[in-house]
Chain A
Amino acid sequence: MTGEVVGKGMSAETEPARVLLRPPAASTGLTDPAPIILFLRRLARRRTALFGLIVVMLVVVAALGAPLIAAYDPTEQNITDRLKPPGSLDTAGRAHVLGTDHLGRDIMARVLYGARPALMVGFAAVAISGVLGMMVGLFSGYFGGRIDDVFMRLADIQLAFPFILLAIAVIGVLGPSLPVIIVVIGVSSWVVYARVVRGAVLSLREREFVQAAHALGSRDGRILLRHILPNAFTPWLVVATLDMARVIVIESALSFLGLGVQPPTPTWGGMLADGRVYISTAWWLATFPGLAILVTVLGINLFGDGLRDTLDPRLNL
């Protein structure tokens, strides 16, 4: 569902955020639930968003609980039982629900464990780029002028790079490891955040409560932190959620090219790369890790869309 018509007469994109962050003025204080409860209720009414959230939570559970859920060690090789189709039994009589790969490893276990690097890179990279982008957006929007010019040109430069190519060049040079991947993706993804936050700040800057804080002698730092940041937070959160989906795809693309987290750690992208070799004889090798990526990313996108429609329907992403 895309962001569509908002009630007419709402001023700018900050209105829904304000509604959320403060209880309505006419609140009786007795029957009104907390804003967070209101928000959750509104979110819950969007069934697709709720579905997305459940999917994401299941993936998180799979990642955290992989050792408990998986029936096999994801790195345990068994050459006599290689390339078994889904649902078959191995020589020891144990069932492999999703089959085994070219080294006889259980695909189910590998898919479950594969959620770990995906989510780890997702969360960490989004945290880095989110914080960077938030800071750039706040400064750029609030101070304007030269600072704004410099940051926005930097953003143009960043956007001019074919992202994947830049990432593989840097990772190829520095060597693939979890921290390198996280930092490379994190540092090069700040632009969307900066643009969205900057946009919000530009309109917030002119609002009465900011002007009032100015008049009362608040310093810039305090105004930014106490008055502007909380109100620029909602669009930021929406961007962060949707960006997580993109980062997970990139992580698996890097693993697919052999520049992600290195074997023996199972990654979805790495499994796909293996599966590609056996595509004509064993379809299940490439199919299941791809489905795992699809389901995870779809869940995040659904949740993110719902979040946007609930919090900030005017945000065009």
Chain B
Amino acid sequence: MRIYLARRLAQALLVLLGVSFIVFFILYLTGDPVLILLPPDASAEDVQKFRETMGFNDPFVVQYGRFLAGALRGDFGQSVRHGEPAFNLVVERMPATFELAGAALLVALGLAIPAGIVSAVRRNTLVDYVSTVVALLGQSMPTFWLGIMLILVFSVQFNLLPSSGRGSLEHLVLPAITLGLFTTARITRLTRSGMLEVLSQDYIRTARAKGVSDPPVVWKHALKNAAIPIVTIVGIELGTLLGGSVITETIFAWPGVGRLSVQAIYNRDYPVVQAAVFLLSSTFVLVNLVVDVLYTYLDPRIRLR
């Protein structure tokens, strides 16, 4: 177990190292940051001097080393736009993004698992068809369109819920549904197929033959075994949720990391972009590490691999 943990941790660190390299490399490719940082009328001499002081003339590896050393200390440089450290700007926005992603995940799990189970248990009934069709629609619906349509119905037509901003619980409803729908659809389908597979296993038949009644069979015997793929997908879906927050936050003017980074890209505020991508990716890696460890408790076979 300890060996497994150590190996998994080493893998996570390696992934983060790779992430940092790619984040740095993409912005290295952008060419000369001096042209963005200095006013267009700066003299050639000034440009040269600025380059020297900022270290843009150093070899690639040296620059990357400096970036990595900074990133480890949480130093991604100053935001070009706000004049504050980019790291602080991003960290300030993190709670809003986590709140939204967490709420979306709750919506997804709260809807998807019951829907998937009922669908599997009452296979080929009206309930199953409705839930399957809804899941299929949910999986095919672009987030941003859903968000706009929800605003159209609930904010513009009926004036029930606010269409932008953060604060009260009401503010959270529309963005959470918007962000969570795709994940809901995926988990519903996964739960349904997982449950169907488990319900046809011999040990379920054995339990039934022993006279165990329906609810315990479904909830205790079947769900426990169907939970394994669901837990994995939750970790992966969290990545989708963190990434999807970029669009949802833009639509609902939600003050999170996603909106901040979109604005930073428009403003060519690259330190903020680097910090945002790096921190969101790190979160994702961390969550998946936790999920993997949880997984070994659910399915001890994993530890042996």
Contacts and interface: CB of A to CB of B under 8 A. Distances in A.
19 contacts: A153-B14, A153-B18, A157-B22, A160-B18, A160-B284, A161-B19, A161-B277, A162-B277, A165-B261, A173-B26, A245-B140, A253-B142, A253-B247, A279-B151, A290-B145, A294-B137, A298-B136, A298-B140, A316-B193
Nearest to B163: A279
Interface in A1-56: 1-5
Interface string B243-287: 110110011000000100110011010100100110011001100
The prevalent SS among residues of A at the interface is helix
Interface string B181-203: 00000000110110011001000
Interface string B120-138: 0000000000001000110
A276 interface: yes
A168 interface: yes
Contact of B243 (A1, A2, A162, A170): A162
Contacts, number: 143
B246 A165 contact: yes
Contacts of B193: 2-4, 316
B148 A294 contact: no
Interface in A132-177: 153-154, 156-157, 159-166, 168-170, 172-174
Nearest to B273: A169
A115 interface: no
Interface residues of A, number: 48
Interface residues of B, number: 57
Contacts of B22: 157, 161
Nearest to B17: A157
Given A253-B247, A256-B144, A160 B156 contact: no
Indicate the member of B244, B261, B265 with the most A CB atoms within 10 Å: B265
Q: Which 7 A-B pairs have the closest CB atoms?
A: A162-B243, A290-B145, A157-B18, A172-B265, A2-B193, A298-B140, A297-B140
A286 interface: yes
A160 B15 contact: yes
Nearest to A301: B140
A302 to B, nearest CB: 7
Interface string A237-276: 0000000010001001100110100000000010010011
A77 interface: no
Contact of B15 (A157, A169, A302): A157
A250 to B, nearest CB: 9
Contacts of B196: 2, 4-5
A280 interface: yes
Indicate the member of B16, B29, B192, B277 with the most A CB atoms within 10 Å: B277
Nearest to A163: B243
Given A160-B19, A294-B142, A301 B148 contact: no
B277 A253 contact: no
A160 B239 contact: yes
